[in-house]
Chains A and B, each alone.
Chain A
């Protein structure tokens, strides 16, 4: 019940924000993939089809599912991949897609960021009211790390590896973490939280892990203790984007030179690792406490027939594509018990977290 209320509230929030802003238009625009992930995770050939078709933009994290959708002749949409941050920029400049498939709470984050952005030139048309679905699929956020390094961290972290502990130990030489023959120091990884949907969720998960609660606000980001922990974590996260677009792929192809442990969705980790044969280094995936999840939602920006109409044609192939790419779609089932909600602070905090990250990491 509480989840239903939460979804309704979030829909209302987003709808209100976009109505208040009232400066978006829904002019179709051909958008090419703009991020390395989008550029590299696509199947050969463009996803986009008939420019007259309504357009579905997918966050990069959903590349595998959306590639399948794009290849499905029954799907009446042109499917494009785009980093979530780039979609927010497009929204702010008055270029809304018909549909947006993205992990929550990015629609709420987008609404706040668009509200805060200067008015787009020439965007005289009022924005179509966005409608946000309930979660269609979920995936826990996980840690993926090299087995020996996670094993070395475990006792240091009091028995289980968490983001809070990773933040404390980041930069510590491995020789001091029980690996006398290893070189380098603990190097964690997450994607850019201002552009990557999962990057923001992973960072929020890390902060939640450190704080031990989700009712966080902007003041929590200003405490000396938090800044010290956050700065230590971020000073060790490489600030260059993975050339392959996927940190898991980087770990598989560049080994220990890439990262020791990264945060991502279980769906992505499973998809990548299941296709990788055994190599000289083994990667382990674990779900850290507290459990947080990436919940995929569909957003309609005035799509013909509204969200309901879009879902009539999309729900079935979308569910199949998401399930095939490792996302949990049987949300009422017991096969993969997940917490009742995603486990993140509110969107306002996430926007503040993006700002703090830019101050610390850039």
Chain B
């Protein structure tokens, strides 16, 4: 079983009684600004003597919540009638992680942050997840139904010319059309556009991402023709399994956040190659709006200029129906919530539902939860979305069905062919930090061995190490310790060889990257996700090959165009001395993502996030 402790895989593990790691982290910064785990919300000043209301919110709305909290804290609404005041402190906690922590009574507040009074995950389904787990443990539920704070339906985002080629918006498009395209050997050639190549789908890992899970459920509903009451028996039907495998076969790669796809798409668009990176991405409507605004990651940095894409996305609302992320505002019935905190939380809950604050929700691209605010700008056709859609909603299945679906996804999803390329240069022997005797290599080895459990049994994985003059014979700068092969057969061998690694000499980063890439291209398997995990802690120090531009040109050339053999390179910038800038460019050249593990202590979580792409 995969180790992914994602939001509903967690439930699967919990129900199966085999939890390894109840926590799940969402990497919200695929561009390398750090693994954003429980990043705090905006500073809102000191709480003073006020009653502090800790609020755990999913990452995509932390900016909005922080803004509202700041306004609330400064307003008369925060003042109690008989004296005293409320002070709201939002924190970003990925929905799955929040569910896991709540299910365990929110342990280790010094590491996980304070236990929240209010919880607002992306979907109300999470409340059921928590309560289900507590019920299994014989405990009372703590997550009552919360009032939806704002809504965003899952859509299939397609570059406009591609959607139009399918007849959209005149003709309804759904998951069945995706399946047909995925199975069509002619790809877009069938629609008169062979230059667009095969159909390519961007879809996140449902163990990590709410949109990935919603897409998975929508696929299953489409395969069954149902809109509610999905059952485990439905999922086991051969035609349903066939449908699922068919859709998954078109996936570019998975991942823990849709931002990876949208950022890559934006870069491809800037180069004029958007139509050959992904034909469709399953995202929340709000993400598509942000993309078309020119803000693909939804975060506007100071001074950042909005540059709308040349080829906009249009939101296809699947004709079979879709699911909403409803962002409930849940005041927890937990033992750590006292009456004063509850009263303060309810004040804030009423505050965020006010029409003037729901207008802010709308400005952020979400649909307001308060019907007193009508849907309007920016949910308009001008930004690729349709306020009169979707026309069919799908029911969130029962927790056990979700568990079944995730377990089936693990074997139905597209397989991967991955080469782990690890830097064993001398600097890897340096201490990971002043607080531990472990070296950077020690921690990396532990993380890599742990990550082996994250691969599906159907995946193929190999191990390459690199350092200057590592081998007496050509090629001298890298050695394949374990050739790529079925991980089910060589997991132990991989772990053993990783365990034996020792730091050696220099860092021939470009040579190792180029060779790993070219070897995978040469043995490209079109039925799989072909990728390199490139871990490095330093800069290229090989005078024989210092040509980064040449390397990038090769990678870009192999990535663009409709008939490529796309091999993605997912670099991990490990430790404070890693060449994050070059690694980012390498990732971007292959339409992948770089992961920042500048804090060596984060390498375990980062490895897990990287493997979520497969």
Kindly list chain A residues whose C-beta atoms are within 8 Å of the C-beta of B194.
Answer: none
> B119 an interface residue at 8 Å Cβ cutoff?
no
Q: Which residues of A (272-304) have their CB < 8 Å from a CB of B?
A: 272, 275-281
Given contacts A183-B319, A239-B228, contact A255 B388 (CB under 8 A): yes
Would you give the shortest CB distance from A163 to chain B, in whole angstroms?
21
Select A45's contact among B172, B346, B392, beta carbons within 8 Å.
Answer: B346
Kindly list chain B residues whose C-beta atoms are within 8 Å of the C-beta of A248.
Answer: 371
> A244 an interface residue at 8 Å Cβ cutoff?
yes
Q: Is the CB of A275 within 8 A of B371?
A: yes
Which 8 pairs between the two chains have the least Cβ-Cβ distance? Answer: A252-B371, A279-B374, A44-B350, A257-B393, A280-B387, A256-B391, A184-B392, A277-B374
Binary A-proximity of B282-325 (CB < 8 A = 1, otherwise 0): 00000000000000000000000000000000000001011010
Given contacts A253-B367, A257-B393, contact A277 B326 (CB under 8 A): no
> A354 an interface residue at 8 Å Cβ cutoff?
no
Q: Is the CB of B372 within 8 A of A277?
A: yes
> A182 an interface residue at 8 Å Cβ cutoff?
yes
Binary A-proximity of B363-379 (CB < 8 A = 1, otherwise 0): 00001111111111000
Q: Which residues of A (233-263) have their CB < 8 Å from a CB of B?
A: 238-240, 243-244, 248-249, 252-258
> A214 an interface residue at 8 Å Cβ cutoff?
no
Q: Is the CB of B343 within 8 A of A45?
A: yes
Would you give 14 A-B contacts (Cβ < 8 Å), ordered by A?
Answer: A40-B145, A44-B350, A45-B343, A45-B346, A187-B392, A252-B371, A253-B148, A254-B393, A255-B375, A255-B388, A257-B322, A257-B324, A257-B390, A277-B373
Would you give the shortest CB distance from A236 to chain B, in whole angstroms?
10
Binary B-proximity of A178-211 (CB < 8 A = 1, otherwise 0): 0000111001000000000000000000000000
Kindly list chain A residues whose C-beta atoms are within 8 Å of the C-beta of B227.
Answer: 238
Kindly list chain B residues whose C-beta atoms are within 8 Å of the C-beta of A278.
Answer: 374
Q: Is the CB of B391 within 8 A of A184?
A: yes
Kindly list chain A residues whose C-beta atoms are within 8 Å of the C-beta of B350.
Answer: 43-44
Q: Which residues of A (156-191) have their CB < 8 Å from a CB of B?
A: 182-184, 187
Q: Is the CB of B393 within 8 A of A243?
A: no
Kindly list chain B residues whose C-beta atoms are within 8 Å of the C-beta of A44.
Answer: 346-347, 349-350
> A39 an interface residue at 8 Å Cβ cutoff?
yes
> A36 an interface residue at 8 Å Cβ cutoff?
yes
Interface size class for chain B?
A: 35 or more
Q: How far is the CA of A272 from the CA of B228 in the complex (A)?
A: 27
Q: How far is the CA of A258 from the CA of B148 in the complex (A)?
A: 14
Given contacts A183-B319, A184-B391, A281-B388, contact A239 B147 (CB under 8 A): no
> B229 an interface residue at 8 Å Cβ cutoff?
yes
Q: How far is the CA of A20 from the CA of B153 in the complex (A)?
A: 53
Q: How far is the CA of A182 from the CA of B319 in the complex (A)?
A: 10
Q: Which residues of B (496-519) have their CB < 8 Å from a CB of A?
A: none
Select B392's contact among A183, A244, A249, A279, beta carbons within 8 Å.
Answer: A183
Q: How far is the CA of A39 from the CA of B148 in the complex (A)?
A: 12
Select B148's contact among A183, A187, A243, A281, beta carbons within 8 Å.
Answer: A243
Select B371's contact among A36, A243, A272, A280, beta carbons within 8 Å.
Answer: A272
Q: Is the CB of A238 within 8 A of B395?
A: yes
| B368 to A, closest residue via Cβ | A253
Q: Is the CB of A257 within 8 A of B392?
A: yes
Which residues of B are interface residues toward A (Cβ below 8 A)? 124, 144-145, 147-148, 151, 153, 172, 227-229, 319, 321-322, 324, 326, 328, 343, 346-347, 349-350, 367-376, 387-393, 395-396
Would you give the shortest CB distance from A181 to chain B, in whole angstroms?
8
Most chain B beta-carbon neighbours within 10 Å: one of A182, A254, A272: A254
Kindly list chain A residues whose C-beta atoms are within 8 Å of the C-beta of B319.
Answer: 183-184
Would you give the shortest CB distance from A242 to chain B, in whole angstroms?
10
Kindly list chain B residues whose C-beta atoms are within 8 Å of the C-beta of A184.
Answer: 319, 321, 391-392
| B342 to A, closest residue via Cβ | A46
Kindly list chain A residues whose C-beta atoms are within 8 Å of the C-beta of B371.
Answer: 248-249, 252-253, 272, 275-276
Q: How far is the CA of A59 from the CA of B279 in the complex (A)?
A: 51
Select A253's contact among B124, B229, B322, B369, beta carbons within 8 Å.
Answer: B369
Q: How far is the CA of A242 from the CA of B324 in the complex (A)?
A: 13
Kindly list chain B residues whose C-beta atoms are within 8 Å of the C-beta of A281.
Answer: 387-388
Q: Is the CB of A254 within 8 A of B324?
A: yes
Kindly list chain B residues whose C-beta atoms are within 8 Å of the C-beta of A254.
Answer: 151, 324, 367, 393
Q: How far is the CA of A278 from the CA of B370 in the complex (A)?
A: 13
| B396 to A, closest residue via Cβ | A240
Q: How far is the CA of A272 from the CA of B370 in the complex (A)?
A: 11
Kindly list chain B residues whose C-beta atoms are within 8 Å of the C-beta of A277.
Answer: 372-374
Q: How far is the CA of A79 from the CA of B349 in the complex (A)?
A: 21
Kindly list chain B residues whose C-beta atoms are within 8 Å of the C-beta of A252.
Answer: 371
Kindly list chain A residues whose C-beta atoms are within 8 Å of the C-beta of B349.
Answer: 44
Kindly list chain B residues whose C-beta atoms are within 8 Å of the C-beta of A39.
Answer: 144-145, 147
Would you give the shortest CB distance from A282 to chain B, in whole angstroms?
11
Would you give the shortest CB distance from A255 to chain B, in whole angstroms?
6
Q: How far is the CA of A227 from the CA of B328 in the complex (A)?
A: 38
| B150 to A, closest residue via Cβ | A253
Kindly list chain A residues whose C-beta atoms are within 8 Å of the C-beta of B375.
Answer: 255, 279-280
Would you give the shortest CB distance from B220 to chain A, in whole angstroms?
17
Kindly list chain B residues whose C-beta atoms are within 8 Å of the C-beta of A244.
Answer: 147-148, 369
Q: Is the CB of B392 within 8 A of A243?
A: no
Kindly list chain B residues whose C-beta atoms are within 8 Å of the C-beta of A280.
Answer: 374-375, 387-388
| B371 to A, closest residue via Cβ | A252
Q: Is the CB of A243 within 8 A of B124?
A: yes
Would you give the shortest CB distance from B481 to chain A, in whole angstroms?
53
Q: Is the CB of B374 within 8 A of A182?
A: no
Kindly list chain B residues whose C-beta atoms are within 8 Å of the C-beta of A45.
Answer: 343, 346
Most chain B beta-carbon neighbours within 10 Å: one of A40, A240, A253: A253
Would you give the shortest CB distance from A261 to chain B, in whole angstroms?
14
Q: Is the CB of B153 within 8 A of A257?
A: yes
Q: How far is the CA of A275 from the CA of B328 in the complex (A)?
A: 22
- Since A238-B395, A255-B388, A280-B388 are in contact, a sample of 18 more A-B pairs with Cβ atoms closer than 8 Å, ordered by chain A residue number, is A40-B145, A44-B346, A44-B347, A45-B343, A183-B172, A238-B228, A243-B145, A243-B326, A243-B328, A244-B148, A253-B370, A254-B367, A255-B387, A255-B390, A275-B371, A276-B374, A277-B372, A280-B375
Q: How far is the CA of A139 from the CA of B442 in the complex (A)?
A: 73
Q: How far is the CA of A281 from the CA of B172 in the complex (A)?
A: 20
Select A256's contact among B124, B343, B370, B389, beta carbons within 8 Å.
Answer: B389
Q: How far is the CA of A279 from the CA of B370 in the complex (A)?
A: 13
Q: Is the CB of A275 within 8 A of B372?
A: yes
Q: How far is the CA of A256 from the CA of B148 in the complex (A)?
A: 17
| A259 to B, closest residue via Cβ | B393
Q: Which residues of A (51-72) have their CB < 8 Å from a CB of B?
A: none
Given contacts A44-B347, A253-B148, A253-B151, contact A240 B374 (CB under 8 A): no
Kindly list chain A residues whose C-beta atoms are within 8 Å of the C-beta of B321.
Answer: 184, 257
Q: Is the CB of A257 within 8 A of B391?
A: yes
Kindly list chain B residues whose C-beta atoms are within 8 Å of the C-beta of A182.
Answer: 391
Q: How far is the CA of A275 from the CA of B375 in the complex (A)?
A: 14
Q: How far is the CA of A278 from the CA of B350 in the complex (A)?
A: 23
Q: How far is the CA of A184 from the CA of B319 in the complex (A)?
A: 7
| B380 to A, closest residue via Cβ | A280
| A260 to B, closest residue via Cβ | B391
Q: Is the CB of B228 within 8 A of A240?
A: yes
Q: How far is the CA of A153 from the CA of B445 in the complex (A)?
A: 66
Q: Which residues of A (1-56) have their CB < 8 Å from a CB of B?
A: 36, 39-40, 43-45
| A241 to B, closest residue via Cβ | B145
Would you give the shortest CB distance from B524 to chain A, in whole angstroms?
39
Q: Is the CB of B390 within 8 A of A256?
A: yes
